[in-house]
Amino acid sequence: MATKPSQSEVNTEVEFEKGGDSAPTDADRQLRRSVRQLGNLLGETIVEQEGQAILDLVEELRALTRAQRQGDSNAGPQIERLTGDLVDDLDSTLGVLKAFTTYFQLVNLAEEQQRVRVIRQRTAQAEENDRHMPETIGAAVMGLRKGGTHPSELRRLLDEMLIKPVFTAHPTEAKRRTILLKLLDLTRLLHELDAHVLLPSEKRAHWNQIREIGVSLWQSDVNRDRRPDVLDEVREGLYFFETTLFDLLPDVYSELERALAKEYPDSAVSSGAAGFSDGLPTFLRYGSWIGGDRDGNPFVTQDVTENALRQQKEQALELYRRTVVGMYGHLSVANSRGAFSQEFLDSLAGDLERAPPNDKARLDRFSLEPYRQKMILIYRRLGATLAQSREAWQAQRPDPWAYPNAGEFIADLELIQRSLRQNRGNRLAEGRFARLVQQARIFGFHLASMDIRQHSDRHRDAVAELLHRYYRPQDPDFDYRQLPEEERTRLLVEEIESPRPLTARLQYGNETNETVALFRLIRQAHERIAPQAIGAYIISMTTSVSHVLEALLLAKDAGLFGKIDIAPLFETIDDLVRAPEVMSALFESPIYRKHLAQRDNCQEIMIGYSDSNKDGGFLRSSWSLYQAQERLAAACSDYDVKLTLFHGRGGSIGRGGGPANRAILAQPPGSVQGRIKLTEQGEVISARYSNRAIAKRHLDQLVNAVLIASCESHHEDLGDEDGSQNASHAVETSWV
């Protein structure tokens, strides 16, 4: 933080320059230089804002802590004396705390920037030598080709592939959106200083902007002045879609398209008539628990969930409107210079007839540029949809000018794209406009699918009250919960098969009413946004067949039979052991198979890393998770069910955290098959998604691992028939 390097830092530099075993690499020197530059900037800010005395105090503490780390026994008592003196001086205490907090934020930025430098350097080296950087999408596709994967096999994999990271909230991510945006601005300026050839005056201007942001950071509160509520957490999650994911995901799809075209030209998996003529299937999407996870969180109410869903839709619409504004100027094809398909012209004529009168004058100005007219109309329709979405669902009024769903929006975009392709506009159709089409296909109007999670006890209690009302209302001793499992299952199947509604009116206890109303809210989300707005309905602490059938009964009563994925969550060691038996029994149930048939025979199953680790310890948990995945994959295969395993992992190693690429590659044979969900815990979301280049690298590694792990030949050399070799390999399933 000093305005010049400290003597110990100078000595360290000299030591490194002399060489030896600990000599730094160029990357080390770059990182140290970045840290020093940002530290000096912070030092200037401290002097300017608080005075030299605070900077001297901070530097003294820094020097003492460094000395203590190096073994100086006198440093500890001096640190205690200094910090003891601070207790009586609140202003100095706040200044020192602010200095170190800001310093660590800047150091983290410098480290992120160094990661970006390394990624770019390695990518450049790979491209110059016409090869792929390890753990990238291109490397995976090349590996599949060299390994003998046939185009038809790869086509089947891509048609079925689903990779879905799911954002969760976490109280340890305390930075406000305001601070995140300032750090994003700093990241942009540092990147431009690195990557752009700037004039000396431009460099000075950049550093002045960095200093300005430094002062703004210093005078801003890093954390909120109150505990964040659920909708605050929703907004924090949306930040990463707005600043990173919305623009990034089309690049991931484009990279896969390029790799397929290079490694499998003119085949069933390349773009064009022989392959994916309308683009790749939508294999990479995002989910969210924020606003939908009510297990143990009484603050996630019906209103909160509806508001969270509406906020996600509003964010998607605002992002589309922002992009459409750019397209309006880009697609300035004139009648005198280009041609247009009759299909497009007919659609435009119909829209112009229906357009609101106050838009007529603006539309008439561009009567010789039909694409611009269409983009104006699309922008207006998105605006009408946004205005409608800002109203509570119960108060929303029909608006014929609003898009009823994302499908109509996508149809408008595809109409323009077809017209461009048919009239010498291929470059326009496949450039920036293709990104917008891809974004609409990925994000729809829902942005991210919201999973709903509820504890199995809530369903059991609700069903017990409902069945008591219908079966033995005069018998206070009748308790569905006390019945044997076989009898519970029989009653549930009977009720699911019955056309009679259970809950025409909500006239039960508060918890039962809330549980029943939740399923009705899901149905509303399907109707108001899209079926994709809701992901899976997750039943935590699932231990039996009846736990799943209880949720299915409540879903059926809300008109959701076969319209929502019901995912049991197996968490403890014992539950993981029983999980394959529970799922096999469900697959034997005709009524459950009927539900699955309407879900394309897809079954999502969630496995918990944190609770199993607490339950059985790290090694036992890892082995139990590995065995459970093997047996669940076998059970699904036996019943011809497509399995999606949802890995509920935390950010720390103790909760299942670690490099996702290695963990996916370590999954048991047959357990991935192109389909995987995994939680992105709140405490790691910022680290993975704040910086676009780092987020891109993370997604490259995810797709790389899923492609490789799903290849039939991938696991051929893993272990003997008795699984002894797999036992040690299974530790990797803890995502270490």
Name residue 142's amino acid.
Answer: M
Where residue 713 falls among pLDDT bands split at 50, 70, 90? low
Domains of the chain: 1-131 (no CATH), 311-443 (1.20.1440.90)
Dmax of the chain from CA atoms?
Answer: 90
pLDDT in tens, 138-190: 999 999 999 999 999 999 999 999 999 999 987 666 678 899 999 999 999 99
Lowest-pLDDT range of 36-40, 242-246, 540-544, 649-653: 649-653
Q: Which residue has the higher pLDDT, 681 or 435?
A: 435
Cα gap 219→22, rounded to integer Å: 39
Q: Which residue has the higher pLDDT, 30 or 496?
A: 496
Catalytic: which of 170, 446, 547, 696?
A: 170
Lowest-pLDDT range of 11-20, 245-254, 321-330, 486-495: 11-20
* Mean pLDDT (whole number) for 357-379: 94
With CA atoms as reference, report the closest residue to 233 among 313, 292, 147, 158: 292
Region of 39 please: left (phi>0), alpha (psi -120 to 50) or beta. alpha
Q: What is the pLDDT of residue 3?
A: 47
Determine the length of the chain.
736
Query: In the predicted model, is pLDDT for residue 203 greater than 60?
Result: yes
Q: Is the dihedral of CA 535, 572, 582, 283 positive or negative?
A: positive
Q: Is the dihedral of CA 167, 171, 173, 175 positive or negative?
A: positive
Query: In the predicted model, is pLDDT for residue 23 greater than 60?
Result: no
Residue 548 DSSP SS3: helix
Q: Give CB contacts under 8 A, 24+ apart, made by 25-32.
A: 27/114, 27/117, 27/118, 30/114, 30/117, 31/110, 31/111, 31/114
Catalytic: which of 262, 330, 455, 614?
A: 614
With CA atoms as reference, report the closest residue to 161 among 654, 706, 653: 706
* Mean pLDDT (whole number) for 363-369: 94
Residue 507: CB atoms within 10 Å: 9
With CA atoms as reference, report the closest residue to 4 among 72, 80, 57, 55: 55
List, in order, residues 6 or more apart from 254 with CB less than 8 Å away: none
Q: What is the DSSP letter of 559?
A: T
Lowest-pLDDT range of 152-156, 286-290, 575-579, 648-652: 648-652
8 Å CB contact between 679 and 647: yes
Q: What is the pLDDT of residue 507?
A: 84
Query: In the predicted model, is pLDDT for residue 4 greater than 50?
Result: no
Q: What is the pLDDT of residue 387?
A: 96
Q: What is the DSSP letter of 20?
A: S
Q: Which residue has the higher pLDDT, 150 or 266?
A: 150
Q: What is the pLDDT of residue 549?
A: 99
Mean pLDDT of the chain: 89
Element (H, E) at 191: helix 177-195
pLDDT in tens, 32-46: 999 999 999 999 999
Query: In the predicted model, is pLDDT for residue 509 greater than 70?
Result: yes
pLDDT in tens, 613-667: 677 677 888 889 999 999 999 999 999 999 999 998 765 554 555 678 888 998 8
* Mean pLDDT (whole number) for 556-575: 96
Give strand ranges (E) for 470-573: 534-540, 565-570
Query: In the predicted model, is pLDDT for residue 491 greater than 50?
Result: yes
Query: In the predicted model, is pLDDT for residue 21 greater than 70?
Result: no
List, in order, residues 6 or more apart from 340 with CB less than 8 Å away: 333, 370, 371, 419, 423
* Mean pLDDT (whole number) for 216-238: 89
Query: In the predicted model, is pLDDT for residue 701 greater than 50?
Result: yes
- Cα separation values, 172 from 169, 175, 233, 685, 718, Å: 9, 9, 11, 11, 38
Q: What is the pLDDT of residue 55?
A: 95
Q: Which residue has the higher pLDDT, 613 or 687?
A: 687
Q: What is the pLDDT of residue 734?
A: 41
Active site residue 614: yes
- Cα separation values, 421 from 242, 273, 433, Å: 30, 14, 12
